[in-house]
Amino acid sequence: MKYFLFIDDIRNPNFESDIEIKIARNSDEAISILKEFGIPNQISFDHDLGGDDTSIIYINALTDYIIDNNIKFSKEFKYYVHSQNPVGAQNIISKMDSLLKYFCE
């Protein structure tokens, strides 16, 4: 299933997409969506998801999911970071770029 995953505890997506948008308000919801629907075609990340929760937890679960299922991202996969936390945003970019380097078709 093609879908766009928007991870943010407060904001809603302010754009339209030609594929279904699924919203996760925390890392647990994002991980549940991953388990149910597989790897999204696009992801937009907020870093801070309330309390100690961050999107890094989701990225770690995504990494495990990819390794456990021996799958890769499609060449069309894209991710965005809309977090207002500059350090958190850089952490997301670093982790996602590394993940894509090794697990993209």
pLDDT digits (tens, 9 = 90+) for 15-67: 878 889 999 999 999 999 999 999 999 999 999 999 999 999 999 999 999 99
The pLDDT value given to residue 29: 98
Does residue 78 or residue 105 have the better pLDDT? Answer: 78
**For residue 98, pLDDT beyond 90:** yes
Identify the band that residue 14 occupies on the pLDDT scale cut at 50, 70 and 90: confident
pLDDT given at position 59: 98
Q: What angle do CA 49, 72, 98 make, to 5 degrees?
A: 60
**Residue 22 gets which letter from DSSP?**
E
Q: What is the mean pLDDT of residues 4-9?
A: 98
Give the pTM.
0.94
Is 35 exposed, middle or buried (CB count within 10 Å of its CB: 0-12, 13-18, 19+)? exposed
